Amino acid sequence: MRILVTGATGVVGTEVTHRLTAAAPAADTVRTARRAGEPGVVPWTIGREPVPASLTGHWDVIVHTAAATRWTLTRAEATEANIVPLREVLALADRETHFVHVSTAYVGGTRGPQDLTGAEFEGYRNGYEWSKAVCEDIVTEHRGPVTVVRPPLVMGRRTDGVIARFSGPYSLFPALVSGLAAVVVGDPDGHAEIGPVDEVADAIVTAACGAPPATPRTEVISAGEHGLRLGQLVDVTCAAINDFRAAHGVAPIERPPTVSTDSWNRFFLPLAEQWLSPVQRQAVRLLAMFQSYTSMSEPFTPTRLVADPARVVEVSVRYWARRKPRQALAAPSPWTMVTAR
């Protein structure tokens, strides 16, 4: 069996590669990535460079994990980073190739009016999400078998919290410690969907090593009705951070208050933004990206259930703190009121 893994040095691709090696040791698994610093990884900036000769020929399975996941992508950037590369990789597949495409659970689900960003992203929350929805349509053009895997926000392994890179939801942790996250914006009872990277990788590897589906198949990784609510996510995160700080003799951080999205955008932000420093203003913009992801009115319907997501968050926070002790043990610099003289 000949298997190609794109994005092999990324958060999901790294875990997929480890598990593919264990699940299919006899397979010829070829890894490619834009940053190919590891031995055996074929360097390829997909969409900008010709296909390396070693990546031509028949593939039994192509696992496409490569993607730009930034929520700040413009439509043009998302097209160049995600849509164009997908077409390049899809061109390597023939009628017998099982194409396993890693998407995001957030192409589905219930979106409220506050989530819609206008014509640029056709109702999706950002360029990343929009591009992944377009990619799912493109994948259906493949003449052979297709599996689409939709993970939620990805965190560390369930057992030890290990993850290849801190990105996405991990930007919340230092913001809570530093005081830049002065408030948490969203519905405390809104659904906050997360999944451990090892279980995301297991779903991908199971698809890659299993029988190709006769019709396109979609796997949704989610805790469903048993998922975390936003308030619980913040409570678990702050508790894990404070346990780490206590073990090092450092004072705890305070749990920030929660403000509804509507109140924040209509009243608090316009009033406060004029007094924010450039650093605070940038932090507000970045953290605002989480609003719709942590305030979903309805959970996803899983095909693969994530059990005890609170434990996943706790273990992931502890691993982050051990790897980033200066951030985890930093002294908070809370926002202060500016009073007129």
pLDDT tens digit sequence for 212-256: 999 999 999 999 999 999 899 999 999 999 999 999 999 999 998
SS3 category, 260: coil
Tally of CB atoms within 10 A around 209: 16
CA distance 30 to 238: 41
CA nearest 69: which of 2, 1, 152?
152
Please report the pLDDT score of residue 40 as a whole number: 87
Task: Enter the CATH code of domain 2-165+193-226.
Answer: 3.40.50.720
Please report the pLDDT score of residue 320 as a whole number: 98
Please report the pLDDT score of residue 223 as a whole number: 95
179 phi/psi in degrees, rounded to 5: 95, -5
Please report the pLDDT score of residue 171 as a whole number: 86
Helix (H) or strand (E) run with residue 185 in it = strand 184-185
Please report the pLDDT score of residue 336 as a whole number: 59
Please report the pLDDT score of residue 341 as a whole number: 40
CA distance 256 to 172: 12
Please report the pLDDT score of residue 263 as a whole number: 79
Question: Is the CB of residue 40 less than 8 Å from the CB of residue 21?
Answer: no
Task: Specify the amino acid at residue 156.
Answer: G
Helix (H) or strand (E) run with residue 102 in it = strand 98-102
3 bridge partner residues: 29, 61
CA distance 312 to 308: 7
Question: Is the CB of residue 173 less than 8 Å from the CB of residue 241?
Answer: yes
Please report the pLDDT score of residue 340 as a whole number: 44
The DSSP letter of residue 38 is S
Please report the pLDDT score of residue 329 as a whole number: 98
For the chain, give every domain's residue range.
2-165+193-226
Segments of the chain scoring below 70 in pLDDT:
36, 109-119, 272-273, 279-292, 294-295, 334-341
Confidence (pTM): 0.90
